[in-house]
Chains A and B, each alone.
Chain A
């Protein structure tokens, strides 16, 4: 399906005099901003005390109350680069880190991961594009599995390697792409269900092409629901925004199971939380 031909095309937006130069300037500026962001924030950062959030919101009473609520349940946070891939990166980092200490969960996940490529190929994704990402993904997972549930020393060694890989674009982005494909595969497999979540006249396939498969496109509920269903992993997302009240609302995907991954959502961005 990823290989059929439909996609949108059209005319340029440049029908007004001089607007091209304007466009180029805007794009240049946008690229510079993106570059600046990427240079200052690691893809996945070190673990930090939750108090660092308090400093961030020093003069913001609404957020301070919410940070306080958050700190009653969580001790620390690990930040990710805000590049539109943060949900996928935060999710996979937190989950693989968790698998290091949970051999049973690892074995369950390994089977799902191993079979995922065939599902994608059966859906029409081309073998050789999927394979590239699948192989890197499995390499990272297998390394986790070698010492999952092992001694603290060995677990620590693999944890450090994992951190290193997540900060190397060559691994990290391959993992993100593969999770995007799994998410797209899940959406397309269960189109009838997911169509209800899509606003406007887009089909599930169009939505996948435009909002799921391309890099840097931000994730919404629908992405989280699909990925957690595909991998059978429960995620708790704490939503921290300017809304009323002092509580940070939690959402579990899917509801009713025990979350293994905890993420903090602030408008437009996901980070990892630790109890």
Chain B
């Protein structure tokens, strides 16, 4: 087996840890990720007692060979995109740690926890106000969007 690059080594470690001790309601598709370390699928369940109780979501993580210096590209995929003020109907998520506030000390696990928390604190299910315009005009890669972050608690 060829020697792993630093980013592959790091992803391998993260994968093992996420499979062994996943946060509640989060499961990673380990087989798929082991085949291709740069593309992961993560299943997420709506937390009981929140607006998303009983719903199931799928997240896709894409990594470059500069990970963890480059943030992962994270989007919701599949049939059920959560209806949330910071999630666009094409699956793009407006979350500062995915771009401006990304740090190499963060991980797939901390991103999952942030998304769970973002969903759980939601008080009203609705799309972002600019959803239809954004979805029509945005780049396929959400990291290419210049996001305007709000410090609100939603």
Contact = CB atoms under 8 A, between A and B. Distances in A.
B50 interface: no
A79 B104 CA distance: 25
A27 B116 CA distance: 29
What's the interface size class on B, roughly?
Answer: 35 or more
B147 to A, nearest CB: 6
Contact of B138 (A6, A13, A20, A177): A20
B105 interface: yes
Given A129-B68, A129-B107, A213-B103, A27 B86 contact: no
Interface string B1-42: 000001000100110010000000000000000000000000
Interface of B: 6, 10, 13-14, 17, 68-69, 85-86, 93-97, 100-107, 109-110, 113-114, 116-118, 128-130, 133-134, 137-139, 144-152, 154
A11 B128 contact: yes
A23 interface: yes
B134 to A, nearest CB: 6
Contacts of B86: 9-11
Contact of B96 (A7, A13, A132): A7
Contacts, number: 139
Nearest to A202: B151
A275 interface: no
Given A8-B96, A11-B85, A128-B13, A177 B104 contact: yes
